[in-house]
A and B are shown apart, each in its own frame.
Chain A
Amino acid sequence: MENKAYMIPNAATPCQAIFFDAELCTGCKRCVEVCRSDVMVPNPEKGKPPIVLYPDECWFCGCCAKECPVPGAIRVEHPLNQRVGWKRKETGEYFRIGMKNPPPPNTRPPVG
């Protein structure tokens, strides 16, 4: 533990809304271009994930994630205070997004 500390303003919002996997993101900026609110700006470094500049203005419409050509490169996450849980009917087990030891993903695509 290094004894160094910094003066940093508080984050503007309860959550970051949009997250990038820097390994997967190619920096194509398609998400930047589809965003209705200009929540993100291009990274000055070419090929790097965009910067989430105004997460507080995100409407959580999900269009950025829908547009992303690389599966898993972008993740939209509703803040913790906007998620409900679910109960498995047979077993009574209770799950939620973000829990420790989550169930495996359900990979069934939507209709259409």
Chain B
Amino acid sequence: MTEPKYIRAVEWPYPVNYGKENEVETDVLVIGGGIAGCHAAINAAKRGAKVVVVDKGAVIRSGAGGAGCDHWHLACTNPCSKIAPEEMMEIMRSFNNDYFFDEYGNGITSYILCKESYDALLDVEKMGVKVRDVDDEFVGAEFRDDETKLMFAYDYENRYCIRINGGVDIKVALYKELKRLGVKIYDRVMATSLLTEGGKTRARVIGATGVNTRTGEFYIFKAKASVLTTAAPSGLWIFSTELTGTFTWSDPNNTGEGTAMAWQAGAELTMMERSAGGLAAGGLSYPFFGTGNAQNTWYACTIVDANGKEVPWVDRDGNILESVSQRNRPVSGQRVFFVGRGRGPHFGYSYEIWGPSLIPDLPQRIKNGEFVLPLYADLPGMPEHERRAIWGLMIPHEGKSWIIYDTYSKAGFDPDKDMLQVNVMPPEQYVFSPWWKGMGPPQWREGGFVTGGGLLIDWDLKTSLDGLYAAGQQTAFGGDHALAAATGRYAGRKATEYSRTAAEARVNRKQIDREKARIYAPVGREGGIGWKELRAGLCRVMQDYCGEYKSEETLKMGLGWLNSIRESEATTVCARNPHELMRALECQTQITVGEIIMQASLARKASCNVLEFNRLDYPEMDPPEWNKFVTIKRENGDIKVGGLPFNYYLLPPYAPTFEENYKKHSGL
């Protein structure tokens, strides 16, 4: 892939020094400076540890939650919450929701979230982020508590989810706090592998290697303890060569280096067989929340049809809700409701926690001509506080939609007068998810992001490897901003504790040399495959051999394809600058993560509804003996498969209750 002769290449703007070694020594190394990573680093530094954060992007804004956050979830300990952490856990484990489906869920991270979500928010407030309605803009709003000035989203009665006044500023505030605490930040350094004692698999983790994506320089991070806070892998099934940056829900740079390097080091992973359709959007559809809709950030907006006819809202039994206020209240006798996936084929929430929704038979009623497309989000028809909360508070503070607010406002959109159009789709698409962002192609699946697989962790948020802790999306079922923050601060404490007694890290030179040979191979090659073609080809393998329907035959073929590409095309991928080197290395990550997912898929020899996992050769759905977590790890060159009961975190060696385990392990 050399430049065509008619293009005059301009020299790279940064000084290039491939392979030049930089050695950094620290107590705690945080790999991935997103929300979880920043909270981990801050909490480690506050406890006196020497802390280094390494990030592929720029910590000031990087990470899935770097652009903003509109609601802070499961803040059960805020003074207005009517549900305590223990009761919330009971509810979530009993009824299907975003955190637990048929017992598939992470009891450890969920409980930490319920316990520390609000504390993490208070941390952020101390850093200068506006969390409350301090400007008194919403005095009299039913979602506001006048004493604390806290504002709530969704369930206005139970008040466990907080609307944040300054969500768009959070990441910059975290960055400044890192600086204030003297944390050393290495921006634009892509971590490529974990270093282990003696260079051995499954040995204690003693740091990581990295490569600078501007200069090509090499980094050796030696650490007493490491926290893996990279994001879950994303963008494995679909790659858009035209708009590479918008083909994923998550930050497109989140290709799964953390998962891949933990796997290579021998860490145990779980739930990796899960992937979901319909999550991602991208260049073929619309920006998230950038069209009129009624879910999540836009909850609970009034929707009207082309003739101004209002689409009714109903309660869980189909009773029409007459007022806007009722859309934010549980029905009589209902303990709590969750806003979320509603009643889809795979992710049906339990009836007990069904919230209000637009009429579920809307698709049919559009087909019958009762409602005429296009639909519109009738912001002018909403009560003033609700209108301002959606368009003025939620949209501009949610990740990636500040720019929606900005550009539409500059173009003259006025929520007091104007109704934003709902994207026009086939009628059957007017159910929960496509509203946010339009339709993607059918093979479009996502793996780890939200309710997917990740590293197996214990009550210390320690992984199966000594010296390695994990938080945020890197843990199985790790999802949102608040979970990243809460588990980040917890993992930061635990890693610091470990670092105090850990022996000095002694790096194995052979491990370094092997890694250098691997990562610099694409530099200076000529005439090979480009990273975009390689990525698209790897995505095709996932689409065809690890799609919605799987079998031993196709999965093994898929593994064969990945291995064959690794030996062939992947050895020709070229990098003409350090930025392209990063993209080329991401392709290698993609091969590894694809292999993990296929191996985990082979290991589960049963279909499973919740995991959206269909085995054509094991069609029986959820046979009882497979109601468990499947775990996998590398051991002596083989894949070792294991199983864990759903409630392993409340079985020996752990205590039988959440409170006891938290008390014993939380480090507070």
Contacts and interface: CB of A to CB of B under 8 A. Distances in A.
Nearest to A41: B13
A62 B409 contact: no
Most chain-A CB neighbours within 10 Å: which of B10, B403, B414?
B403
Interface string A32-64: 011111110110100000000010111111110
B342 interface: no
B245 interface: yes
A86 to B, nearest CB: 4
Contacts of A106: 409-410, 412-414
Contact of A66 (B168, B242, B380, B393): B168
Interface in B226-249: 241-246
Contact of B378 (A76, A89, A108): A89
B509 interface: no
B67 to A, nearest CB: 4
Interface stretch (B81-89, B355-363, B394-402): B394-402
A62 B67 contact: yes
Contact of B287 (A41, A54, A60): A60
A87 interface: yes
Given A89-B418, A89-B419, A105-B410, A60 B245 contact: yes
B403 A62 contact: yes
A5 interface: no
Interface stretch (B57-65, B365-373, B458-466): B57-65
Nearest to A35: B58
B244 A56 contact: yes
A102 B412 contact: yes
B88 to A, nearest CB: 27
Interface string B154-171: 000000000001111100
B472 interface: no
B634 interface: no
A87 B409 contact: no
Contacts of B380: 89
Contact of B66 (A56, A61, A83, A104): A61
Contacts, number: 185
B396 A14 contact: no
A9 B4 contact: yes
B275 interface: no
Nearest to B304: A89
Contact of B419 (A14, A56, A76, A86): A86
A2 interface: no
Interface in A60-112: 60-63, 65-67, 76-79, 81-90, 95-98, 102-108, 110-112
B412 A105 contact: yes
Interface in A1-22: 7, 9, 12-14, 17
Contacts of B392: 108, 110-111
A89 B130 CA distance: 33
A85 B407 contact: no
Most chain-A CB neighbours within 10 Å: which of B246, B252, B396, B411?
B411
B60 A34 contact: yes
Contacts of B407: 76-78, 97
Contacts of B242: 12-14, 56
B381 interface: yes
Contacts of B7: 9
A39 B245 CA distance: 10
Interface in B1-50: 4, 6-7, 10, 13-14
Contacts of A84: 286, 290-292, 420-423
B251 interface: yes
B188 interface: yes
Given A59-B400, A106-B412, A107-B409, A85 B421 contact: yes
A93 B168 CA distance: 32
Contacts of A104: 412
B58 A34 contact: yes
Contacts of B409: 105-108
B610 to A, nearest CB: 30
Contact of B67 (A33, A38, A58, A61): A61
Given A36-B251, A61-B66, A84-B291, 5 more contacts: A37-B253, A61-B400, A78-B287, A82-B286, A111-B392
6 contacts: A14-B283, A37-B252, A42-B13, A60-B246, A84-B292, A108-B409
Interface of B: 4, 6-7, 10, 13-14, 57-58, 60-63, 66-67, 130, 135, 137, 165-169, 188, 213-214, 241-246, 251-253, 283, 285-287, 290-292, 308, 376, 378, 380-381, 388, 392-393, 395-397, 399-400, 402-403, 405-414, 417-423, 579
